[in-house]
Amino acid sequence: MPPLRLVFLGSDAIALPLLNWLAGPGAAVAEVIGVFTQPDRPAGRGQQVRPNAIKLWAEARQLPVLQPERLTPDVTAQLAALRPDLGLVMAYGHLLRDDFLAVPRLGMLNLHTSLLPALRGASPIQTAVALGWRETGVTLMRIVRRLDAGPVADQERVPIGSLDTALELEERLATACVPLVARSLPALARGELGFTAQDEAAVTHCRKLTKEDGALDFARPAAELAARINGLFPWPGCSAVLGEETLKLGLADVAEAAPPGGAGSPGQVAGTDAAGLLVGTGAGLLRLRRLQRPSGRMLPAVEFLRGFPVAPGATFASRPMPGLLVPPRPPAPAVIH
């Protein structure tokens, strides 16, 4: 059976392990014949206009790259000219309309970084960690008009460790796309890939994150605070005011034993141990393992405290913590992937 003619649509480096597999061993299954990605945008501190990682990958292999601002009828015609068997979408960031979705003869499939129907929406990786979950995964699904609501073909499960941040989890989810696609595309080509409707009663939605989500209320349990810190690293990042300094927090967990002086009140520094700075909470003792001062670097706590000693009794200020899950959304005329 000849390889499927595959058009990839994506704008984020999370897809690179999969694309590298498609350019290597996966080429026997599917040939990438073109790439759709977002237009070049300003990036970095200097806000210079730069191509994203997906465009660079495609250009290095001399593949056609299309970067439309909108998916107009002309763009749909450009897709049709490529004669694709399949469209594969991951973190593209464009509205996909019916006429565009209908072009590939086998349709458009999407890779979503959660175990659907859990965590439909914009921040499934960060939210899974921030909620303290111990498992998530990648879902391969058919695209429909509702956001992340299409029938599911297959899933690859990924564990979440107690000291995983969103950064480490994203790397493992990126890698998990490879076996998922490797076993699904041959079945699709043979007409044997089945799809199962999602259980609408089990749907949860996450939202786009903002800097305000990095607030911490130390009256909440230590386990909840640690999960929030880890899940929101590196973006948008959690921070808290201590004295006159706003400190960024990059990694945390729950300490099993309190120091001799006790756990202290919520937000109060109780002392240190070999791994971090110990802070009282509403339930349990929070261990801050990585911290950063303004304009400084994120450092392990032991190294951070050498240059910025924190005395027991000092207190972090609390702020209300926004919820990360949102009510279900009504059906929309188009979807974003």
Pairing of strands 48-50, 41-43: antiparallel
Residues 141 and 109 sit within 8 Å (Cβ to Cβ): yes
DSSP letters, 38-57, are PPPEEETTTTEEE--HHHHH
95 vs 230, residue with greater confidence: 230
Q: Residue 330: is its pLDDT beyond 70? A: no
Q: Render pLDDT for 128-147 as a digit per residue (tens, 0 to 9).
A: 999 999 999 999 999 998 89
Q: What is d(CA 310, CA 300) in angstroms, rounded to the nearest whole number?
A: 14
329 vs 266, residue with greater confidence: 266
Q: What is d(CA 12, CA 93) in angstroms, rounded to the nearest whole number?
A: 9
CATH number of 216-307: 3.10.25.10
Residue closest to 14 by CA, chosen among 120, 108, 126, 104: 126
Pairing of strands 86-90, 4-10: parallel
Question: Percent of the chain having pLDDT more than 90?
Answer: 89
Question: What pLDDT does 337 receive?
Answer: 60
Name the 3-class secondary structure at 179.
Answer: helix
Q: What is d(CA 70, CA 300) in angstroms, rounded to the nearest whole number?
A: 44
Average pLDDT, the chain: 95
Residues 177 and 12 sit within 8 Å (Cβ to Cβ): no
Pairing of strands 86-90, 108-112: parallel
Question: What pLDDT does 262 receive?
Answer: 72
**Residue 191 token pair:** 């007409």
Question: What pLDDT does 257 receive?
Answer: 79
Question: What pLDDT does 46 receive?
Answer: 78
Q: What is the pTM of this model?
A: 0.94
Question: What pLDDT does 188 receive?
Answer: 98
Q: List where CATH 3.40.50.170 sits in the chain.
A: 4-206+327-336
- The amino acid occupying position 27 is A
Give, for 59, the enclosing helix (H) or strand (E). helix 53-60
Q: What is d(CA 276, CA 289) in angstroms, rounded to the nearest whole number?
A: 5
Residues 112 and 31 sit within 8 Å (Cβ to Cβ): no
The sign of the CA dihedral 35, 36, 41, 44 is negative
Q: What number is the average pLDDT over the span 13-25?
A: 98
Q: Render pLDDT for 139-181 as a digit per residue (tens, 0 to 9).
A: 999 999 889 999 999 999 999 999 999 999 999 999 999 999 9
**Residue 171 token pair:** 């790397």
Q: Which of 47-51, 63-67, 180-184, 274-278 bottoms out in mean pLDDT, i.e. has the lowest?
A: 47-51
Q: List where CATH 3.10.25.10 sits in the chain.
A: 216-307
Q: What number is the average pLDDT over the span 289-314?
A: 96
Q: What is d(CA 322, CA 5) in angstroms, rounded to the nearest whole number?
A: 44
Question: What pLDDT does 196 receive?
Answer: 98
Question: What pLDDT does 1 receive?
Answer: 83
Q: What is d(CA 168, CA 250) in angstroms, rounded to the nearest whole number?
A: 12
Contacts of 45 (CB under 8 A, 6+ apart): none
Q: What number is the average pLDDT over the span 314-324?
A: 97
Q: What number is the average pLDDT over the span 47-70?
A: 96
Assign a CATH topology to domain 4-206+327-336. Rossmann fold (3.40.50)
Question: What pLDDT does 44 receive?
Answer: 74
Name the 3-class secondary structure at 210.
Answer: coil
Q: What number is the average pLDDT over the span 27-37?
A: 98
Name the 3-class secondary structure at 15.
Answer: helix
Q: Residue 331: is its pLDDT beyond 90? A: no
